[in-house]
Amino acid sequence: MGDKPRLSVASSTGLKNVAASNQFKRLYNQQSISSFSNHEDIREDRIELENLLGTDELEKLRTQGFSKSKVLDKENFIRFLRHTLNRGSDRDYEELFECVDVTKEGVISWDKLATYLMLKLYDNDDREKASSVPNWKSGKNLINAHRDSVKRIQHMDSFNRYISISKEGTVCIYNDEMQLYKTFKAGTESCKIRDLWITDFVLMTNVNKVAVAYTSKELIIYDMTSKLELSLAYRIVGIDATPYCLDYWSDSENPNDAILSWGDVKGDVHAILFNSAIIALFERPPQQTNNAAYTRVQLEDVANGIYKNASYLTYHAHAEWTRQIKYADHLECFISCSTNTKTALVFGWMEKSGLTVRVNYSVRIRQLREARNVVEINQGLNSFDYSRNFNLIVDNESIFILATAGVNYQVSLWNPFVLSKPNGVIENFFE
């Protein structure tokens, strides 16, 4: 079927909708389509029904066969195909006619024939997709320099490279083919290498930085140099509990507006809101010398408003460890999860209180609402994901998708604005 000429856009099928006509072409010209009728009723030496009519024959049938009369009876239908086609038999033509004339009226129209072909091709296409085996590429053996669990893998768009960091502090840089480019250690002066434990890291894409969380209760922000090396820039200390998960968001229209958030082992959610991220995340305090290798930042100073270009907020969200945190800018809220049933999923909503104009840019002032939404899920959640681009149509409304995954082998799809129950559940997904 692949070498047959293609249909013209709208005229060949007689369908009024151009999109439907294009879909008909796509389905009809597939190389592998099952028969219109039961395979058991057709001998191997007979031509399959779907191979009877090519695109040229369909065009002739529409313009010539049905031109003078809107309908054809069986005798005229068979006579026309006998003189038009150089393959098939009268029995083939008769069987095709009977498949179209399901109401046994004795006549068929072009609309009925085109509708029948469309439905059968859709059905064959769905059946073929369901039974086909994905053509996966062969697996690759990758060089693994990590000695412990990998905390995250992210793509660095500005460098066209992948980065991964494992628990013991090994940093690996890969090219787009996932070939190891370089590897080095990410340590901290607060503990020895043997005691090092990284819980998570996140890329700060708009400023070419990497934030790393340590069990030594500190967040270290590194500059990613042009040589793809980590250079210590900021060290945030004075954190009350070990940070367990990280997230970073920046405004695509105003890159100075950014939020670094994390969840800790006490079930709290924390966030530092930057208002001039491109210029500096934190201005260097007067007591530090200008030739210092990095800026040491006390979290308490950020909370007390010592830094003009950064502010801090926090709230208690979960009864157990905060497993994942994400700031959803479209919803203006923080989403976090834990394995606790009562506080499996928590929404911490923000509200915008206005704009403060700075030189050449404006700053969005945000405040945390007191009210939060809590979703109870049996045995809690291990992870979730949110997408504003994945639209689900429910009752003719376009909503945004939140997918959650727990220990019950289920993936649930939620509407963030209706949290009484999920819109859909995928069961036995990981079994």
- Contact, 52 vs 61, CB < 8 A? no
- Domain enclosing residue 169, as ranges: 150-316
Domain co-membership, 164 together with 306: yes
Catalogue the long-range contacts made by 181-187 (C-beta closer than 8 Å, 24 or more residues apart): 181/228, 182/228, 183/145, 184/229, 184/230, 186/212, 186/220, 186/222, 186/230
Q: Is residue 7 part of a domain?
A: no
- Contact, 165 vs 183, CB < 8 A? no
Q: Is residue 194 part of a domain?
A: yes
Q: Which residues pair with 213 in a beta bridge?
A: 200, 219
Lowest mean pLDDT: which of 92-96, 170-174, 248-252, 406-410?
A: 406-410
Q: What is the pLDDT of residue 24?
A: 52
Provide the sign of the torsion angle of the four alpha carbons 22, 23, 26, 30, taken in this order: negative
Domain co-membership, 229 together with 296: yes
More confident residue, 219 or 89: 219
Domain co-membership, 87 together with 187: no
Picking from 73, 72, 74, the residue whose alpha carbon sits closest to that of residue 94 is 74
Q: Is residue 279 part of a domain?
A: yes
Lowest mean pLDDT: which of 105-114, 115-124, 168-177?
A: 115-124
Picking from 136, 140, 159, the residue whose alpha carbon sits closest to that of residue 209 is 159
Q: Which of 316, 341, 371 is the last residue of a domain?
A: 316
Q: What is the CATH number of the domain that holds 56?
A: 1.10.238.10
Segment 318-337, tens digit of pLDDT: 999 999 999 988 888 999 99
Domain co-membership, 101 together with 216: no
Give whole-number Cα distances, 5 to 85, 277, 340, in Å.
15, 58, 61
Domain co-membership, 116 together with 159: no
Q: What is the CATH number of the domain that holds 227?
A: 2.130.10.10
Q: Which of 105, 120, 135 is the last residue of a domain?
A: 120
Domain count, the chain: 2
Cross-sheet strand order for the sheet of 361-375 = 324-328, 333-337, 345-358, 361-375
Picking from 233, 294, 242, 250, the residue whose alpha carbon sits closest to that of residue 270 is 242
Q: Is residue 305 part of a domain?
A: yes
Picking from 312, 316, 311, the residue whose alpha carbon sits closest to that of residue 265 is 316
- Amino acid identity of 391? N
Tell me which range, 259-268, 364-373, 405-414, is most confidently predicted by mean pLDDT.
259-268
**Residues with Cβ within 8 Å of residue 328, at least 6 apart in sequence:** 334, 335, 386, 388, 416
**Residues with Cβ within 8 Å of residue 120, at least 6 apart in sequence:** 36, 50
Q: What is the pLDDT of residue 356?
A: 55
pTM of the model: 0.65
Whether 205 shows a pLDDT value over 70: the answer reads: yes
Whether 179 shows a pLDDT value over 80: the answer reads: yes
Residue 419: how many CB atoms within 10 A of its CB? 15
